[in-house]
Amino acid sequence: MTRSIFLNLPVHDVAAATRFYEALGCTLNPQFSDEATASMVWTDAIVFQLQQRDRFAEYAPRPPADAHAAAQMLIALTCADRAEVDRLATTVTAAGGTADPRAPTDFGWLYNRAVEDPDGHVLELVWVDPTGMPAGDQA
């Protein structure tokens, strides 16, 4: 059995969040979506469950945090190359996100830009060239 990860994220506006994640390259799975939840498939193994804050609160053991005010986690998504990192950062900005809430990281063999979705959740867009990684470096 292939293991999967479902990232449940509280959102203020499901439609706005859906547009952002579609721009990121996700596709909507209508089987697990309704007016309060959008199931956005990134890969066969990674799905973002965008849940209206009230819906999210039904399942969470604590109130949903305001991701604009505090970072609960950073979600890193690998990209095929540096160009894809830059393309996605530009594309999601046009879809209501924010590119580069912090300076990009460029080690030559590792390139990383952060983006924020409309609700402030930070996604790390990462490209790594393992053949260029210095020996003994712990990325």
> Domains of the chain: which residue ranges?
5-128
Alpha helices in the chain (DSSP H): 14-24, 53-59, 82-94
Distance, CA of 15 to CA of 24 (rounded, Å): 14
How many residues appear in the chain? 139
Q: Residue 10, Cα to own-chain centre: how many angstroms?
A: 13
> Is this structure's pTM higher than 0.85?
yes
Q: What is the fold of 5-128?
A: 2,3-Dihydroxybiphenyl 1,2-Dioxygenase; domain 1 (3.10.180)
CA atoms of 124 and 105, how far apart (whole Å): 10
- Each of the 139 residues of the chain gets a pLDDT tens digit; together they read 789 999 999 999 999 999 999 999 999 999 999 999 999 999 999 999 999 999 999 999 999 999 999 988 899 999 999 999 999 999 999 999 999 999 999 999 999 999 999 999 999 999 999 888 777 655 5
